[in-house]
Amino acid sequence: MIPTVEQVREMLATKAASLTVEREQLLAVANFLKTEPQLQFDFCSCVTAVDYIKQDCIEVVYHLYSVALKHGPLALKVRAPRALEQCRVPSLTPVWRGCEFQEREAFDLFGVKFDGHPDLRRILMWDEFVDHPMRKDYVPPMDYEWEPTPHGETLARAKAQGGVVPASVLEAKK
Amino acid sequence: MSATGIIETQTLEVSLGPQHPSTHGVFRMDVVLDGERVVKLKPVMGYLHRNHEQLAEKMAWLGSMPYTDRLDYFCSMTNNWAYALAVEKLAGIKVPERAEYIRVIMAELTRLLNHSCAVGFLFSDCGAWFTPILYALRERERILDFFETVSGARMMCNYMRFGGVRVDLNDESLTMARDLVVRWPAFLDEFEKLLLANEVFLARTQRVGILPRELAINASISGPMARASGVEYDIRKVDKYGVYDRFDFRVPVGEKGDTFDRFMIRILEMRESVKILEQALRNIPAGPFIAPEVKLRNFRVPAGDGYGRIEAPKGELGFYLVSEGGAKPYRYHVRPPSFINLTVLEDMCLGHKVADAVIILGSVDIVLGEVDR
Amino acid sequence: MAVDPKLQSDLQKQGVFVMPVEFLYNWSRKSSIWPVQFGLACCAIEMIAAAAARHDIARFGAEVFRASPRQADLMIVSGTVTKKMAPQVVRLYNQMPEPKYVIAMGACAISGGPFKDGYNVLKGVDRYIPVDIYIPGCPPRPEALLHALMTLQEKISKQHLNEARWYKKETPAEFPVPQYGAHDLEPPANPKVWEPPKK
- Could you tell me if C197 lies within 8 Å of chain A, comparing CB atoms? yes
pLDDT > 80? residue A160: no
* DSSP symbols for A24-38: GGHHHHHHHHHH-TT
Give the H/E segment covering residue B115: helix B97-126
Smallest Cα–Cα separation from A96: which of A161, A33, A148? A33
Outline where DSSP puts E strands in B35-192.
37-44, 160-161, 164-165
pLDDT tens profile B81-129: 999 999 999 988 999 999 999 999 999 999 999 999 999 888 888 887 7
CB contact, 8 Å: A85 with chain C? no
- Note which residues in 113-142 of chain C have CB less than 8 A from chain A: 116-117, 119-120, 123-124
Confidence of residue B273 (pLDDT cuts 50, 70, 90): very high
| Contact at CB, A61 and B320, closer than 8 angstroms | yes
Q: What is the mean pLDDT of residues A122-141?
A: 87
Out of A51-65, A131-145, B229-243, C46-60, pick the least confident.
A131-145
Distance from CA of B134 to the nearest CA of C (A): 6
pLDDT at B127: 82
* CA B91 – CA A52 distance, rounded (Å): 21
Cβ-based neighbours of B227, under 8 Å, separated by 6 or more: B233, B234, B251, B252, B253, B254, B265
CA distances for B118 relative to B24, B75, B125, B347, B356, angstroms: 10, 12, 11, 22, 17
**Residues above pLDDT 90, as percent of chain B:** 50
Judge whether B96 and B258 are in contact, CB under 8 Å: no
Among C38, C39, C118, select the one facing B50 at the smallest CB separation.
Answer: C118
- The predicted structure's pLDDT at residue C98: 84
pLDDT at A113: 92
Of B115, B349, B342, nearest to B210 by C-alpha is B349
Task: Identify the pLDDT of residue B297.
Answer: 81
Residue C173 pLDDT:
78
**C-alpha distance from residue C156 to each of C23, C33, C89, C150 (Å):** 10, 10, 23, 10
Considering only CA atoms, which of C94, C105, C3 is closest in space to residue C45? C105
Identify the pLDDT of residue C3. 77
B47 part of contact set with chain A, CB < 8 Å: no
Written as one string, the DSSP assignment of C76-131 is: EEES--BTTTHHHHHHHHHHSPSS-EEEEESHHHHH-GGGTT-SSB-S-GGGTS--
pLDDT at A168 over 80: no
pLDDT above 90 (res A5): no
In this structure, are residues B276 and B282 in contact, taking their beta carbons and an 8 Å threshold?
no
- C49 contact B CB<8A: yes
Provide the 10 A C-beta neighbour count for residue B21: 13
Q: Please check whether residue B72 is in contact with residue B62, taking contact to mean a CB–CB distance below 8 angstroms.
A: no
Average pLDDT value for residue range A131-141: 85
Residues of chain A contacting residue B333, judged by C-beta atoms under 8 Å apart = 46, 48
Question: pLDDT tens digit string along B118-170?
Answer: 998 888 888 877 888 888 899 999 999 999 999 988 989 899 999 999 999 98
**Mutation choice for C interface testing from A132, A142, A143, A164 by most C CBs within 10 A:** A143
**Residue C151: alpha-carbon gap to chain centroid:** 11
Asked if B207 and B256 count as a contact pair (C-beta separation under 8 A), the reply is: yes
Give me the pLDDT at residue B240, please: 87
Residue of A nearest to B232 (CA): A67
C58 sits in which H/E element: none
The Cα–Cα gap between B92 and B101 comes to 19
Q: What is the pLDDT of residue B326?
A: 87
| Amino acid letter, residue C53 | A
E-strand spans in A10-112? 18-21, 43-52, 57-65, 74-81, 88-90
Q: Which of B181, B189, B139 lies closest to B277, judged by CA?
A: B181
Considering the entire predicted model, what is its pTM?
0.91
How many Cβ atoms from other residues are within 10 Å of residue B42's Cβ?
A: 12
Mean pLDDT score of chain B: 89
- pLDDT tens per residue across span B288-347: 988 888 888 888 889 998 999 999 999 999 999 999 988 899 999 999 999 999 999 989
**Chains touching chain C at 3 or more Cβ pairs under 8 angstroms?**
A, B
* Gap from C112 CA to chain B (nearest CA, Å): 10
pLDDT number for residue B3: 63
* pLDDT value of position B344: 92
**B51 reaches A (C-beta below 8 A):** yes
Do B73 and C88 make contact, defined as CB atoms within 8 angstroms? no
Tell me B272's DSSP state. H
Q: Is C106 on the interface with B (CB under 8 A)?
A: no
- Identify the pLDDT of residue C198: 58
pLDDT value, residue C19: 85
pLDDT at position B177: 92
Q: Which residues of chain C have pLDDT under 50?
A: none
Q: In chain B, which residues have their Cβ closer than 8 Å to the Cβ of A133? A: 51, 54
Backbone angle region of C64, left / alpha / beta, with phi > 0 → left and psi within -120 to 50 → alpha: beta
CB contact under 8 A, A98 and B221: yes
Taking the C-alpha atoms of residue B242 and residue B238, their distance in angstroms, rounded to an integer, is 12
The pLDDT value given to residue A166: 55
Cα–Cα dist C42/B67, whole Å: 12
- By C-alpha distance, which of B53, C44, C32 is closest to A108? B53
Kind and range of the H or E element at B187? helix B171-196
Of A43, A18, C2, whose CA–CA distance to B320 is shortest? A18
Is 60 exceeded by the pLDDT of residue A173?
A: no
